Every structure is written in structure tokens, then in C-alpha cells.
Amino acid sequence: MKLAIVYTSITGNTEELAEVLSGCFREQGMKTDCYPLENFSLSSISDYDSLVIGTYTWGDGDVPDELLHLQQELLRCPQLVTGIFGTGDRFYPKFCGAVDELQEIFLDAVPLKIELSPQSIDMSHIENFVGQVLGT
Ligand SMILES: Cc1cc2nc3c(=O)[nH]c(=O)nc-3n(C[C@H](O)[C@H](O)[C@H](O)COP(=O)(O)O)c2cc1C
């Protein structure tokens, strides 16, 4: 089994969460590759058994534009998307709205929403997410 984390991040919060998650998946014995979106080649999708997508939220609860192409491609194999994580800010009415939007498309994916950058208080949620994605 091989898992890819593919994320987009502007100010680094989602990147930080992606790195924490990578470490957790690896600790659980999962072969895990972690890519910023711009380094992920769509042709490598077939190398993976499972894909976990990470995103910030933009605008009024929106998925960032740069993710839309990957989102479209994954509609061919929606079962591959096992998790969707995001960082957001509770200041906005649609907290982590991008995670909600993606989850409406990838119905079986486990969601994780974290406020800004991951803190130690978030670790139980993060570990739960990892466990659910791995089905343990
Ligand atoms: C213009 C703008 C719009 C945003 N809209 C939302 C939003 O609707 N919901 C939300 O939860 N966060 C929103 N955010 C907050 C970001 O999603 C949040 O800061 C996130 O952690 C940034 O991730 P990054 O550091 O990976 O880029 C917005 C931020 C900006 C600058």
C-alpha cells in the first residue's frame, strides 16, 4: 500500500499540517509521499492506492483555483481519495469551506479541519484522522 499526500498552501499552515500527517502515516507503517501540488504529476496517480488532499480555504469558503484541475482528474477515480484535510480561520463564516466542498464530491473521504497551523491540542484529531483513513 502506498499513499500520496498532495496539498496546496500559501502561507505554510496547510504545508505544516501535511508534514505532520506524513509523519503520522509513516509511523503507522504506511509508505507515504508528500507533494506540494505543483510537484505532483497527474501521471503518477496510478502509483498510489490512496490519495489524501490538503487545502486552505479561499474567498468565501472556496476551494483554491489551483486545485480544480486535480479535482477534475480525480473524478475518474473518486474512490482513490481517502482523506481531505484543510486549514482555515474561524473568523470566516465558512470555516474550512474548501474541505466541505471537496467532501461533497469525494463522499467517502475522511475530513479533517484545523484552525490555522496545527498545535499540540490538535494531535488527537490528527491521529484520529490518520486512523480512519487507514481503516484501523
Ligand atoms: C482572502 C482570504 C479568504 C479566506 N477565506 C476563508 C474562508 O472562507 N474560510 C476559512 O476557514 N478560512 C479562510 N481564509 C483563511 C485561510 O484559509 C487560512 O489562513 C489558512 O490556514 C491558510 O492556509 P495556508 O497557510 O496553507 O496558505 C481566508 C484567507 C484569506 C487571505
pLDDT tens per residue, range 14-25: 999 999 999 999
Within 6 Å (CB) of ligand 1, which residues are found?
9-15, 56-61, 87-89, 92, 94-97, 116
Element (H, E) at 18: helix 13-27
Mean pLDDT of 32-59: 97
29, pLDDT greater than 90: yes
Q: What is the CATH number for 58?
A: 3.40.50.360
Looking up cell 505544516 gives: 16
Closest residue by CA, ligand 1 atom 1: 59
Distance 136 CA to ligand 1 centre (A): 31
Residues 100-121: tens digit of each pLDDT: 999 999 999 999 999 999 999 9
Structural contact between residues 60 and 45, judged by C-beta atoms closer than 8 angstroms: no
Please, what is the Cα angle at 135 between 81 and 36, to 5 degrees? Answer: 35
Tally the domains of the chain: 1
Coil/strand/helix, residue 35: strand
Burial of 71 (0-12, 13-18, 19+ CB in 10 A): middle
Taking alpha carbons only, the member of 1, 54, 25, 53 closest to residue 127 is: 25
What's the domain range around 85? 2-134
Residue nearest to atom 29 of ligand 1 (CA): 58
Return the ligand 1 atom nearest residue 90 CA.
11
CB 64 within 8 A of CB 32: no
ipTM: 0.99
How far, in Å, from the CA of 66 to the mean position of ligand 1?
Answer: 14
**Global model pTM greater than 0.95:** yes
C-alpha cell at 19: 508534514
Residues 6+ apart with CB under 8 A from 129: 21, 83, 85, 110, 112
